[in-house]
Amino acid sequence: MSPQTLSAADPAVAEATITTLRSSIDVLDAEILTLLDRRRELSEGVQRARMSTGGRRTEFNRENVIIKRYADRFGRPGAAIAMTVLEICRGSTSKPASSSPR
Ligand SMILES: C=C(O[C@@H]1C=C(C(=O)O)C=C[C@H]1O)C(=O)O
């Protein structure tokens, strides 16, 4: 191994790399949040349509398909993400509480 391989990285280069990558992460997080808002709108559309004919808000067979999709990609944390996404998309629990009566 050459001495160059063993030498420490330049802190200034590392710092610049971190700043650049964090900017990209911030952009992606903003996109994920926008997609999550869109997903919640679509999900609430399905829920409203089903409830308009007397059906239930939730359908666990469908939720299990979605949880498996995420778990197949990311394992246990994937399943946890899916359950959180589903919770966010449930109309009844995802809305902020309305202002309290005076
Ligand atoms: C949107 C639906 O309704 C509910 C919400 C789901 C979702 O956000 O993906 C999945 C199943 C249901 O509990 C649906 O049945 O597809």
Whole-complex ipTM:
0.99
CB 82 within 8 A of CB 70: yes
DSSP state of 1: -
12-91 belongs to CATH 1.20.59.10: yes
Q: Band the pLDDT of 8: cuts 50, 70, 90.
A: confident
35 Cα to the center of ligand 1, angstroms: 16
**pLDDT, mean of residues 63-85:** 98
Residues of the chain with pLDDT > 70, as a percent, come to 82
Look at residue 34 and tell me whether its pLDDT is greater than 70.
Answer: yes
Cα–Cα distances (Å) from 65 to 39, 48, 75, 79, in that order, read 16, 20, 14, 11
Write down the residue that tokens 């993400």 correspond to.
81
The predicted pLDDT at position 95 comes to 43
Distance (Å, whole) CA 61 – CA 90:
15
Look at residue 93 and tell me whether its pLDDT is greater than 80.
Answer: no
74 Cα to the center of ligand 1, angstroms: 21
Site residues for ligand 1, CB cut-off 6 Å: 43, 46-47, 58-59, 62-63, 66, 86, 89
